[in-house]
Amino acid sequence: MTTTTPFQRRSRAEIAAMVANDIPDGSYVNLGIGIPTLISKCLPAGRDVILHSENGILGMGPAPADGTVDPSLLNASKEPVTLLPGASITDHTISFAMMRGGHIDVSVLGAFQVSREGDLANWDTGAADAIPAVGGAMDLVAGARQVFVVMEHVTKNGEPKIVEACTYPLTGAGVVDRIYTDCAVIDVTPNGLVVRSMVEGLTFEQLQQMTGAPLTRG
């Protein structure tokens, strides 16, 4: 019988901060919608990270601190952003060429499901009321050198989002390198899913119960 111990899940901001801290200096990074957009506010001081938005911004900064919004300056999530010194704005042709051509070091995306093999499903659940929205995700996972996924560990109904095999339409097969959830950080490796860290108080056995695929201690 598995003993249940109390633990505190990470907030969305805390997940974003963990990802921001792991992005290497000098990286070109694309941030997807949802939790990934918070990363721009969490980058360590002095870290030289160039943020890319698929709608054509390279050198994107965080939302205006003073609340002054330029309605013509939005990221791919339609949220207000700023431009850092040296930033550029391109059309979609150039932006997607960056993504498809292997010029993005890290792509950070949300997900509905990730499989033990690193398959990613993040654009359609098949629900009757769902609106499929792939955006540039397929281009990003095909072209980025690394793909990080950020998401809650389970659905609102308590179902695992890390699974043996995805049941939703795939964005890409075998593309995910690392998974950040509100409970743990997990690497996708040739030998399976390896747990790198867990929130305080959470046991490995509890984490495995919440996960739909076998885990290995890192």
Catalytic residues: 54
Tokens of 201: 């108080």
Q: What is the DSSP letter of 206?
A: H
3-state helix, strand, coil in the chain (%, to 5): 20, 30, 55
Distances (CA, A) of 23 to 30, 84, 102: 11, 18, 17
C-alpha 91/C-alpha 164 separation (Å) is 39
Paired with 216 in beta bridges are 194
Gap between the Cα atoms of 112 and 127, Å rounded: 12
